[in-house]
Chains A and B, each alone.
Chain A
Amino acid sequence: QLQLLESGPRLVRPSETLSLTCTVSGGSISSRSFFWAWVRQPPGGGLEWIGSINYSGTIYYNPSLMSRVTMSVDTSNNQLSLRLISVTAADTAVYYCARDAVYSSMDYWGQGTLVTVSS
């Protein structure tokens, strides 16, 4: 059974960098049929796609976040990473990683991790 687990600091200071890792187990991150996505959800709010990356490093970013986001993949450790710079309180959210089937939907999700931006 495929499992995804997000990890990283739960508290980030304003103007600093949010960094998260998603570890995939029970399957390979190197499948050609899938990308791996980051999605966030502010408290009480809806879902926002941040970006998607595949095993070879092909990346697509949400244009609204593109200037601040960097995603990467580590196939040797079956992990993907997210960096978001210059954070503000508006970046406070639960951050999820998910498996993103090519030209389809997100079929496996991590449990999510709440990241709070506060001084």
Chain B
Amino acid sequence: IVMTQSPATLSVSPGERATLSCRASESVSSSLAWYQQKPGQAPRLIIYRASTRATGIPARFSGSGSGTEFTLTISSLQSEDFAVYYCQEYNNWPSGTFGQGTKVEIK
């Protein structure tokens, strides 16, 4: 399965909404996670099962989609949200393919 994320880079002003996309080459049902990674840090799980927020993740993060099309939305970007976001499918767990990432940068 190939996971394709778009755009590669997203320039957003603080307080604005960010919408990130992830497309699977075949259906992965709802077996999709989103991770946030800041420079020099490990990835951090923010969404699993396509739309369930992980423990401690603020409500401004939301996930949607199923099958082959998925979206991560950050409703009002805070300074700490500027990072790279990866999607990962785990439909054939434990084998999991990651997308190439979307960098959310300050506009």
Contact = CB atoms under 8 A, between A and B. Distances in A.
B97 A49 contact: yes
6 contacts: A35-B94, A104-B33, A104-B49, A105-B96, A106-B33, A112-B42
B33 A109 contact: no
A58 B33 CA distance: 23
B86 A104 contact: no
Interface string B19-62: 00000000000010101000001111100110000110000000
A113 B80 CA distance: 23
B90 A105 contact: yes
Contacts of B99: 46
A74 interface: no
A73 to B, nearest CB: 14
A52 B31 CA distance: 17
Query: Which of A35, A98, A103, A105 has the most CB atoms of chain B within a 10 A radius of its CB?
Result: A105
B42 A111 contact: yes
